[in-house]
Amino acid sequence: MKRFFLPFLLLMGMVLSVTSFAEVTPPSVPDFLKNEPFTRIKISPTGKYLAAIAPMESGSALFILERETMQRSGYFYAGERIHVVDFAWVSDDQVMFAVGEQFVGYDAPSLTGELYITRADGTGQELLIGFRANDGQELGSKVNQRKRELVFASMIDNVASDDHRVLVAISPIKNSSMDSYTTAERMDIRSGRRVVEARAPVRRAQFGTDPQGRVRFAQGAGGDNMLKLYYREVDSEDWILINDQAATDHVVSFMGFAPDGVTAYLRASRDTGPDVVESFDTETHSRTAVMQHDRVSPTAPIASIDGHSVIGTWFMDPQPTARYFDDQHPDARLLRSLQASFGDAMPVSISSATRDGRFALLFASSPTNPGDYFLFDREAKKAQLIGSRREWIQPDQLADMHAVEITTRDGLKLQGLLTVPIGREAKDLPVVVNPHGGPFDVRDDWGYNTGVQILASRGYAVLQVNFRGSSGYGKDFERAGYRQWGRAMQDDLTDATRWLIDQGIANAKRICIAGGSYGGYAALMGVAKEPDLFRCAIGYIGVYDLAMMYSNGDIPQLYSGKNYLTMALGKDGLAETSPVNLADRIKVPVLLAAGGADERAPVEHTEAMERALKAAGVPVDTLIYRDEGHGFFKYEHRLEYYTKVLDFLDKHIGQSAK
């Protein structure tokens, strides 16, 4: 199906023409990698304006458009390397936004803790909170600046009794925002004055609010990484401990309030099986399980149209499925109706809406659609396409993603995602087995994936496996991966690969294993542990010496990081499960890629792996960018990397392979 979209004004005032393709041809690698025209859009409370983040040649900007004309009203651009990361309408014509800076060593902008505000017409721009205010730097030089503060600020909630006060979280920078105590403060956006509304009872806290915007929950963890959840009554300063993971061995977290403001919803782990949704009665403090899925844990809550409460939750099984706490709630009925219009293959959600609920911005995406935004008129019951994330790529140019189930040697059932090239039968294919990073608190999700689509467009099937340890399947499934690096987690990937062969999907002589971060480790460990199963391996920003993880990089710098390594990685048998020590077992060519400024997986891992492979006589090609970090950020670097990947795969399992 081709996507014919309505004109959407480029944020510099240019109109996009309607695009169609006479022939279906694979997108070029540059087309896959070039910047999207925008990353998100939100509608103003009255519906008069739309705000959007737009990538620039360097950095990104916030643009304001008039909804009816789609003409630019105002914009904010702070300069090179500065990105608008998040924003919210805080009044009928004012937007508050958080900025981030592109630092060497990171593949995405890092929040700086600075909050700005602007009017829709571009006037009244002001740095409300920030450590660089009045320090003489050019950032925000054209903006009014307040007194410099050494704090890290983030937005919590813009619900207030008037248009001038918002709730922000404030953490002191000197103690590191990672391990500090946070306060929730009500800020007057006219004067900048703040009043403390709540002080967190736990480190690294996040606050949860009720439909009236009052702080009612706090959750966080100290150096032991054990999550604590607290609750407080309206206007009370006293916190009540709801759950301490260290005592109960369960994780309980806040999801949101029901529209009645009395019932709150919590996500709670179980001894076995997926997490469940519990209702928490704020009057009796009783907790009751109200929703659960047979296979997967709840993921993101579904907000009401006004965004002030929660009416349901998403489950990824692996395709997103919405479930509602009250099927007869008007917003639930509307969302179900919208989903029926789009079809199950195109999950749809509401990103923002006007105060009266008449207009809403819908976002729909799928594995074959990077994402479309629609303006929905609730009265007219019509949806108008106003922008596509990658309008130059059509759905019929992309390969679909299918769910598969794999049973491991010890009987554990794993979910996987198989992407088969367009026009090819799932039979006798060259395959890339693509383990995800993490490996914990991460999973492979159904949806558009640039890297997967690049490989599929060049004729390779791609298998992504949620091996044991992956998130989203419950506490016992995740813990089954603890201290199993190179052991049971690796066996899961081996079993999945053999399943591909047994099913006739993969050509046994044309399989490569490739991944990033932990996935890079798993790729190299895969060809060391199963030297005859794969024909090549690609390790991207990987770790290859497990003992080194305790001394190098940003993880062991914090007490909480050291505890995480001890819990998840362990200290026994690290040498025998480190690919750097197993190079003499590897029989196939290897491609390594890394960033010289990587703090998560320092480049020393890749350099040591390269030396070991060369000493063992293993063909290895290495690509290192000294100014990149844990993932390649620069377009030219990503383009060169994927070009090398495709050449490498073509040579060893593609058309040029012997």
Average of per-residue pLDDT across 366-382: 93
| Alpha-carbon distance values, 551 to 415, 547, 604 (Å) | 34, 8, 11
In whole angstroms, what is the distance from residue 44 CA to residue 48 CA? 6
Q: How long is the chain? A: 658
Bond into 301 cis (ω within 30): no
pLDDT at 370 over 90: yes
What per-residue confidence (pLDDT) applies to 2?
A: 42
Identify the residue with better confidence: 527 or 8: 527
- φ/ψ of residue 293, rounded to 5: -120, 150
Band (pLDDT 50/70/90 cuts) for residue 463 is very high
Residue linked to tokens 């070009």 = 643
pLDDT at 469 over 60: yes
| Alpha-carbon distance values, 556 to 176, 375, 564, 570 (Å) | 15, 47, 9, 13
Q: Do 84 and 76 form a contact (C-beta atoms < 8 A)?
A: yes
| Alpha-carbon distance values, 455 to 379, 459, 650 (Å) | 44, 7, 11
Average of per-residue pLDDT across 303-330: 94
Band (pLDDT 50/70/90 cuts) for residue 109 is confident
What per-residue confidence (pLDDT) applies to 192?
A: 84
Per-residue model confidence as pLDDT tens digits over 289-301: 999 999 999 999 9
Element (H, E) at 646: helix 635-652
What per-residue confidence (pLDDT) applies to 14?
A: 29
The percent of residues above 90 in pLDDT, for the chain, comes to: 74
DSSP secondary structure, 602-621, as one string = -HHHHHHHHHHHHHTT--EE
In whole angstroms, what is the distance from residue 284 CA to residue 120 CA? 45
pLDDT at 9 over 90: no
| pLDDT mean across residues, the chain | 89
In whole angstroms, what is the distance from residue 62 CA to residue 67 CA? 15
What per-residue confidence (pLDDT) applies to 273?
A: 95
Question: What SS3 class is residue 531?
Answer: coil
Average of per-residue pLDDT across 71-88: 88
What angle is formed at CA 588 by the lines to CA 506 and CA 459, rounded to 5 degrees?
Answer: 35
Element (H, E) at 366: strand 359-366
What per-residue confidence (pLDDT) applies to 236?
A: 87
Question: What SS3 class is residue 510?
Answer: strand
Domain 399-652 has CATH 3.30.70.380: no
Pure H helices in 42-126: none
What per-residue confidence (pLDDT) applies to 93?
A: 93
| Tokens coding 630 | 């844990």
Band (pLDDT 50/70/90 cuts) for residue 242 is very high
What per-residue confidence (pLDDT) applies to 289?
A: 97
The percent of residues above 70 in pLDDT, for the chain, comes to: 91
Band (pLDDT 50/70/90 cuts) for residue 158 is low
In whole angstroms, what is the distance from residue 469 CA to residue 484 CA? 9
Per-residue model confidence as pLDDT tens digits over 544-578: 999 999 998 888 888 788 888 999 899 999 999 99
What per-residue confidence (pLDDT) applies to 105?
A: 52
- Give burial (CB, 10 Å; 0-12/13-18/19+) of 370: buried
In whole angstroms, what is the distance from residue 607 CA to residue 388 CA? 41
Element (H, E) at 83: strand 82-89
Average of per-residue pLDDT across 339-364: 92
Residue linked to tokens 């509304």 = 197
Question: What SS3 class is residue 141?
Answer: coil
Per-residue model confidence as pLDDT tens digits over 96-107: 999 988 665 555
What angle is formed at CA 97 by the lines to CA 92 and CA 103, rounded to 5 degrees?
Answer: 165
What per-residue confidence (pLDDT) applies to 60?
A: 87
In whole angstroms, what is the distance from residue 87 CA to residue 104 CA? 24
Within 10 angstroms of residue 609's Cβ, the number of other Cβ atoms is 28
Q: Do 99 and 90 form a contact (C-beta atoms < 8 A)?
A: no
pLDDT at 5 over 50: no
In whole angstroms, what is the distance from residue 14 CA to residue 202 CA? 49
What per-residue confidence (pLDDT) applies to 558?
A: 82
- Give burial (CB, 10 Å; 0-12/13-18/19+) of 461: buried
Per-residue model confidence as pLDDT tens digits over 495-517: 999 999 999 999 999 999 999 99
What per-residue confidence (pLDDT) applies to 146?
A: 59
Residue linked to tokens 């040579």 = 651
Band (pLDDT 50/70/90 cuts) for residue 79 is confident
Helices 635-652 and 450-457, axial angle in degrees (round to 10): 40
Band (pLDDT 50/70/90 cuts) for residue 430 is very high
Bond into 37 cis (ω within 30): no
What per-residue confidence (pLDDT) applies to 8?
A: 31
Per-residue model confidence as pLDDT tens digits over 617-648: 999 999 999 999 999 988 999 999 999 999 99
Identify the residue with better confidence: 202 or 109: 202
Per-residue model confidence as pLDDT tens digits over 577-623: 999 999 999 999 999 999 999 899 999 999 999 999 999 999 999 99
Q: Max CA-CA distance within the chain?
A: 72
- Please tell me what DSSP assigns to residue 28: P
Q: Do 629 and 104 form a contact (C-beta atoms < 8 A)?
A: yes
Beta-strand relationship, 359-366 and 369-377: antiparallel
Q: Do 122 and 76 form a contact (C-beta atoms < 8 A)?
A: yes
Average of per-residue pLDDT across 176-193: 80
**Residue spans per domain, the chain:** 1-34+327-397, 399-652
| Alpha-carbon distance values, 538 to 376, 510, 588 (Å) | 44, 14, 11
Identify the residue with better confidence: 591 or 160: 591
